[in-house]
Amino acid sequence: MQNRSLFLKLLSAAIVFGAWEIAGRIPISYAFPTFLESMTALAQMTFDGTIFVAYAETLKPLVLGIAISGIVGVAMGLWIGLSARFEWLFAPIFVVMQAAPLAALIPILVMVYGIGLTSKVFVVCIMAMPVIVLNTAGAVRNTPASIKDMAKSFLASDRDVLTKIIIPAASPIIFSGLRLGVSAGFIGAILSELKITPTGVGDIISYSRSIADYPSMYAAIFSIILLAVVFLNLLELLENTLFEGNNRGYVSD
């Protein structure tokens, strides 16, 4: 199963990169480089250290924002899922945040917090937190009542019901929300660098576009996608480690 999954991932990547190379060679646009040209630019930025200097700036708001969103978002989601009154008070706020064009709030954040790290962390949080909160709340709220009643019949405390019944049962959806939140957080980090101050990877993207160095621009974008994939796989590994009993196979297996 694991070998097949790895094979399918490699096959999927090969198909995408092959299509990218073909599209760049046709070409579909003068501003669309080939995959090999982009990887050459990425290798050059790696060897001269440009990409590491950029990520030293990008990772600060990204890691802080994702950490805050993960901790606060899961805690808020648990509280909303467990309390009807708390859900009535706060759930609509996160529903609106998820539906609203949050990029429009960036000028307001700049006016309030300036163009420093705080504004960028806020952008990551407002992009990542709503989906984490709502997924966690929905998972907790939909935990089968029969399982909770059974635990109560065996004299389980409220804490035991929460830690041994609700959280393990809700963990697949909670981690799905975390993965979606991480993806949104990456978008927020780059958006903040493009809209607030051109620093980090966002600066590479903006500068490369301004001088028509499209291989470098696509290389920077590809590096962000690659880092996001690594983060998501680490989350999946953490979920499998903490809740090994929740692993499920496919019907065809």
Asked if residue 22 is part of any domain, the answer here is: no
For helices 200-210 and 50-82, angle between their N-to-C axes, nearest 10 degrees: 120
pLDDT tens figures, 160-212: 777 778 888 888 888 888 888 888 888 888 888 888 777 888 888 988 888 88
pLDDT at 235 over 80: yes
Residue 96, pLDDT above cutoff 70: yes
Confidence of residue 234 (pLDDT cuts 50, 70, 90): confident
Find tokens 């493009």 and name the residue: 194
Alpha helices in 26-49 (DSSP H): 35-47
What's the alpha-carbon Rg for the chain, to the nearest Å?
21
* Largest Cα–Cα separation, the chain: 69
Confidence of residue 248 (pLDDT cuts 50, 70, 90): low
Residue 15 lies in a domain: no
Residue 4 covered by a domain: no
Mean of pLDDT values over 121-131:
88
Q: How many domains does the chain have?
A: 1
Residue 115's contacts (CB-CB under 8 Å, 6 or more residues apart) are 196, 197
Name the band, by pLDDT with cuts 50, 70 and 90, for residue 247. Answer: low
Residue 3 lies in a domain: no
Asked if residue 251 belongs to a domain, the reply is: no
Q: Cα–Cα distance between 133 and 244 in angstroms, integer?
A: 23
Residue 170: domain span:
34-240
Domain membership of residue 87 (yes or no) is yes
- For residue 220, what is the domain's CATH number? 1.10.3720.10
The reported pTM is: 0.80
Q: Is 248 inside any structural domain?
A: no
